[in-house]
Amino acid sequence: MDITPVILCGGSGSRLWPQSRTACPKAFLSLVNGQTFFQNTLIRLEGIENLTAPLVVANETCRFLVAEQFRQAGKQPLGIILEPVGRNTAPAVTLAALTALKDQEDPLLLVLPVDHVVNNVSAFHRAVEAGTKAASEGKLILLGVVPSRIETEYGYIRVDHAQCSGSKDRVFCVSEFVEKPDSITAKAYLDSGGYYWNSGMFIFRASSYVRELKRYQPAMLAICQQALNTAQQTGDFTRVNDSAFKRLPNLSIDVAVIEKTAETALVPLDAGWSDVGTWSSLAIIAEQDKKGNTTSGDVLLYDTQNTYVRSEKKLIATVGIENLVISESDDAILIAAKDKVQNVKKVVEHLKASGRKEAMFHRHVLHCWGGYNALDEGTEFQISRITVRPGEKLSLQKDFHRARHWIVMVGTAQVTRAEEQICLTENQSIYIPTGVVHTLENPQKYDLELIEVQTGGLS
C-alpha cells in the first residue's frame, strides 16, 4: 500500500523571532544542522518503503519558499496545497486527505509537522513501519514520544499497555489525552511509564480519517470539500477557495477527531525527538560547552554560563552573563532570559501592531524568479542586491513614485524599458525613469546578479 507523506507548514514560529518571520517561518530556517527543517523532513523520509512524493499544505505567502526547498533538494512534490489563512491542523489534514482520495487509491497518510527534530532516523522508520500495519486496518495511529525528561511544554497521552486486540506490534490503546502539566505532574507522568508526549505525527488511511471527520466534524468536511472543488490549479500549486476556507473553525486534528474517536491508537517513538518551538528548546538539543553554553556563528564568550548565542552577520561578545538567549539576524537582535523565551511572541505581536516590517520580512526576500537582499534604505532611496535564476523573468511593472538604476554584477540581463529591448552584461547599467513600463529576464544558464538603486519617495 502506498504511503503519502503530508507535510504541514502552517506554523509561524513567532517564538523563534528574529530568525522566524511571517514571510519566512521556522520551517525554512537552518537552525540545527545546516539544513532547514523542511529539508530535514524530506531527508528523514528517505528509505521508507512504498513512499510516494509528499503532499505539502502551506500558507499562500510561503509558496515560493516551499517550491525552492524542493528545487534545492532535487525532488518533486505530489502537490502543494495553499491555504489563504491559517486554520490549524484539522482543516490542513482534511484538504490533504480529500486530495489524496481524489488522485490516489486510498493511500496511507503519514502526517508530519515540518518543524521537528528526529536524531535517530532508523528508530523513526521502525515506528512508521509498526504504525502502517495497524493503520491499514483502519486505526488512526499517533506516534507518541517516549519522554526523556520532565517537560511542561508538551501535551501527554496515557495508554493502556495491554496491546490493542489483533496487533502484533507495540500498538497501544489510548486511555486519555492530557494538557500541558505543571512540573510536579510531569515528573509523575515520567515516573509512571504510561505517558507519552504528543508528537503531532499520525498515520492513517485517507478514508479512515475522512470517515471519522464526517462523524465528528461534518461541517468542516463539507467546507473543505467545497474549498477544493472550487480551487485554482497552477502547476504544483492548488489554491483553495478563499471565501469557503475562511469559514472554517480554527481546530487542531487532536481536538477535532483524534481525542474523540475510539479508533485512535499509539505507537511509541523513541528517536531523539524534539519540537523546536522556542530558543530554549533549541538550546536543549544543541551541543553545549562545559559551562552549558551553546553558540552558533562568530561568538566570543567570557565568564558566561548556560547561555545560547547565535550570530549570523556580526561578532557577538559576552561578558559576565548567564541564563540568556541572544540571537542576531540581518536586521534585529533578541536578548531574553532563558526562562522567559515563551514571551518572545509578545514582541512579535507588538511589532505587528506597530506596523514594523521586522515582524514580517527579513532583508532577504524570496520570489518565484529568485529574490533580493535589501542592503540599505532611507525615506528617499533603497539599495538591493537582486538575483534572477536562469530563464526567469520579473513581472512587467510600472512605478509612478520611484526610479530605478540597475547595474549588472554577474551574468547577462535582457531588459525591457518601454518599447526598448536592451541587453546588459557585467559592469553595464541602465536607468528606468518613473512611470515607465519595465522588466528584466535572465537568458543565461546561471544566476544573474545585479544591484538595484531605487530613488524617490514611497508615495
In the prediction, which pLDDT does 166 show? 45
**Spatial distance between the Cα atoms of 42 and 70, rounded to a whole number of angstroms:** 9
Q: Are residues 177 and 209 in the same domain?
A: yes
User: Grid coordinates standing for 252?
Assistant: 487542531
Please name the residues in contact with 192: beta carbons below 8 A apart, sequence gap of 6 or more: none
What is the per-residue pLDDT across 197-242, written as a single tens digit (0 to 9) for each? Answer: 999 999 999 999 999 999 999 999 999 999 999 999 998 999 999 9
Q: How many residues does the chain have?
A: 459
pLDDT score at 161: 74
Q: Using the 3D structure, point to which of 244, 275, 306 is the last residue of a domain.
A: 275
Whether cis (ω within 30° of 0) applies to the bond prior to 77 is no
Local structure of 128: helix, strand or coil: helix
H/E element, 396: none
> Residues 238, 118: one domain?
yes
Residues 95 and 150 both lie in one domain: yes
Which residue range is the domain that position 153 belongs to? 3-275
Both 66 and 117 in one domain: the answer is yes
Phi, psi of 407 (to 5 degrees): -120, 120
Residue 398 in any domain: the answer is yes
In a domain, 197, yes or no: yes
Asked whether residue 148 falls in the same domain as residue 168, the answer is yes
Gap between the terminal Cα atoms of the chain: 58
- Which residues face 145 on adjacent strands? 197, 269
**281: in domain:** no
- Report CA torsion sign: 151, 155, 159, 161: negative
How much is the pLDDT for 163? 61
For residues 241 and 210, membership in a common domain is answered with: yes
How far is it, in rounded angstroms, from Cα 459 to Cα 457? 5
Write the DSSP string, 170-182. Answer: S-EEEEEEE----
Task: Tell me the C-alpha distance between 91 and 95, whole Å.
Answer: 6
How wide is the angle at C-alpha 302 spanned by C-alphas 299 and 306, nearest 5°? 80
- Helices assigned H by DSSP within 218-342: 218-229, 242-245, 253, 279-285
Same domain assignment for residues 372 and 338: no
**Residues 428, 451 contacting (CB under 8 angstroms):** no
Q: Any bridge partners for residue 415, and if so which?
A: 422, 440
- Domain boundary residue, one of 275, 309, 331: 275
Specify if 207 maps to a domain: yes
- Burial (Cβ within 10 Å: 0-12, 13-18, ≥19) of residue 213: buried
Residue 131 grid cell: 504504525
Instruction: Specify whether the CB–CB gap between 124 and 44 falls below 8 A.
Output: yes
C-alpha cell at 72: 534545492
pLDDT, tens digit (0-9, with 9 covering 90-100), for 405-427: 999 999 999 999 999 999 999 99
**Strand spans (E) along 1-98:** 3-9, 55-59, 79-83
- Of 258, 62, 37, nearest in space to 141 by CA: 258
- φ/ψ of 61, rounded to 5, equals -70, -15
Give the pLDDT of residue 168.
54
The answer to whether residues 32 and 116 touch, using CB atoms and an 8 Å cutoff, is no
C-alpha dihedral (84, 85, 86, 90), degrees to nearest 10: -60
In a domain, 280, yes or no: no
Residue 457 CB burial class (10 angstroms; 0-12, 13-18, ≥19)? exposed
Question: Do 1 and 50 contact (CB within 8 A), yes or no?
Answer: yes
Q: Are 302 and 166 in contact (CB under 8 A)?
A: no
The CATH number linked to 395 is: 2.60.120.10
Task: Please check whether residues 343 and 370 belong to one and the same domain.
Answer: no
372: its cell numbers: 533580493
Question: CA quadruple 395, 400, 401, 404: dihedral positive or negative?
Answer: positive
Domain-terminating residue out of 296, 319, 352: 352
Cell of 67: 517550491
**pTM for the predicted model, two decimal places:** 0.85
**The total number of structural domains that make up the chain:** 3
List the Cα angle 377/379/384 in 5-degree steps.
Answer: 25
Instruction: Say which residues have a Cβ less than 8 Å from residue 132's Cβ, sequence separation at least 6.
Output: 1, 3, 108, 141, 203
Residues in the chain with pLDDT < 70?
162-169, 458-459
Residue type, 287: E
Cα(196)–Cα(345) distance, integer angstroms = 27
Q: Compute φ and ψ for 349, nearest 5 degrees.
A: -60, -40
Rounded Cα distance, 134 and 184, in Å = 34
3-state DSSP assignment of residue 254: helix
Please indicate, yes or no, whether residues 302 and 163 belong to a single structural domain of this protein.
no
Opening angle at CA 111, ends 230 and 270, nearest 5: 170
Shared domain for 84 and 202, answered yes or no, is yes
Q: Say if 266 falls within a structural domain.
A: yes
Residues 178 and 208 in one domain: yes
* 283 within domain boundaries: no
Query: Do 385 and 297 fall within a single domain?
Result: no
Give the CATH number, domain containing residue 202.
3.90.550.10
Please indicate, yes or no, if residue 300 is contained in any of the structural domains: yes
Using DSSP, state whether 389 is helix, strand or coil: coil
CA distance 298 to 234: 43
